[in-house]
Amino acid sequence: QVQLIESGGGLVQAGDSLRLSCAASGRTFIGYAWGWFRQAPGKEREFVAGIKSSGGSTYYADSVKGRFTISRDNAKNTVDLQMNSLTPEDTAVYYCAAAPFTTRSPGSFDYWGQGTQVTVSS
C-alpha cells in the first residue's frame, strides 16, 4: 500500500524554525508534483507550497513566501518543508500530498499523508 508519513511537527515559539519531512513508500513519485497543505481549526485546508516533478520549480502561498522552502529528493522518495520565522498564524496540521501535475488545488492531489501538528505560541 502507498503511505506518506509526515514528521517534524511540534510546539515552538514565535520566531522559531521547524523542518517537516514526508517519507513515501509503496510507489515512486517520480513524475509527480509534491505539495504541502495545512488546516487550522475551523478553517479549510489551504495550499502552502509546491514543487514540480523535476524539482526545478517551486511555488508558495503568499503568506509563507520568503519564510518557507520546499525541497524534494526523488532518490529517497521524500519531500521536506523548511519553515522559518514561524508565527501563531502558522499553527495548523500540515499535510504532504502528491499530484500527477502541477497544481495548487487540494482536489487534484491523489495521495495524502496523515498530517503532523505544528503549534506556534506567541
pLDDT in tens, 38-81: 999 999 999 999 999 987 899 999 999 999 999 999 999 999 99
CA angle 94, 99, 105 (to 5 degrees): 65
| pLDDT computed for residue 51 by the predictor | 97
Q: Work out the average pLDDT over 108-122.
A: 97
| Segment 18-42, tens digit of pLDDT | 999 999 999 999 999 999 999 999 9
Contacts of residues 113-117 at CB distance under 8 Å and 24 or more positions apart, as own/partner, are: 113/4, 113/5, 113/6, 113/22, 114/4, 114/5, 114/6, 115/6, 115/39, 116/6, 116/7, 116/8, 116/9, 116/20, 117/9, 117/10, 117/93
Q: How far apart are CA 110 and CA 118, in angstroms?
A: 23
The answer to whether 70 and 58 are in contact (CB under 8 A) is yes
| Segment 75-102, tens digit of pLDDT | 999 999 999 999 999 999 999 999 999 9
| pLDDT computed for residue 117 by the predictor | 98
Burial class from Cβ neighbours inside 10 Å (0-12, 13-18, 19+) for residue 54 reads: exposed
